[in-house]
Structure 1
Amino acid sequence: MNDKFRFHLAMCLGALALLFGSANAQAEDYSYKNDSYVVFNTFAYHFKNADKRNAVTPGIGFEYSPTQKLGFHVGTARDSFGYQAKYFGLNYATPRYAALGGRVRFIVGATILNKQYHPNSEAETKVVPLPVVEFTLSERAVLNVSGSPEIDFGEQHNNAVVFFQFKLNM
């Protein structure tokens, strides 16, 4: 990870925390009655070939992720090659854990993703895993950190990537 990326990441996370954070919120305030979110896709960091990919991946979507129940997510975002990707999937969210004052939970799921997986190639539709760590910033603001590991299997090769989503509770 280079210093420029760390600086931009720190600035973005700091800005989100300042804009939507709540200094007087307490852990018990984070038991939402409504688990519906408007999702804003923000940026992605590729561990290899980052200079050949777009880091800013704007998009919008909707996520319903009730605690300990089946939920779903749907949306669209510009992928790292500039293609307008579309996604739909199912998810399961854990309860919030005591770590960081009850502000952390995990989401797992599967996503049907139509995107361009390689430069100068046609878009493909694949089912991909969805591992997420969700950080509650305030009563209504949430940051998702997700990604995929580097995969080299047969003729398929994917680079490792971490991406960030900002969510507003409705």
Structure 2
Amino acid sequence: MRIIVAAIAAALVQPLVFAALHPDALSAAQSQPNFIGAFAVMTIAVAAAVVLVGGVPIFLVMRKLDWLSWPSLALAGLLAGALPVAALFWPRPLGDYSDGHNWHGVYVDTYIAGQPTTYAWLSYGEEILRFGCHGLVGALVFYGVWRLLGGQTA
């Protein structure tokens, strides 16, 4: 039961993590409160799936190996959040495709003639860090709630 409650808490905290990492998205959506609620529900749904498929099994393996501590679980959460994004969104050549986007208030080219630019790689690194932060915070909340409910590390 402790693991279930901790998993729910880890999923429920994710909209707050998103708000902290993307304050610009919330300020743009203030005129549409339904958007904020819908986005929070979608964030929780994705987070719940990730926690159940990845987080809980990682926790159980770490507990079995007696590796549970807040630093080790934080690192595991960071990697569990970052590695899938790193693998799926690696910038690769895209034919003759050219594209760009707003990067910190400045329009930048991310692909020129199909080749990723420095900004494509910087954007890629930022996304890895963002998703890693989601995993890190989720793991720490999971661990904190689990310990609060009487979970023992030794």
Same structural fold, with TM-score higher than 0.5 when normalized by the shorter chain:
no
- Compute the TM-score of the two structures, normalised by the length of structure 1: 0.27
Q: Kindly name which structure, 1 or 2, has the bigger radius of gyration based on alpha carbons.
A: 2
Instruction: Provide TM-score, normalisation by structure 2.
Output: 0.29
Which has the larger helix fraction?
2
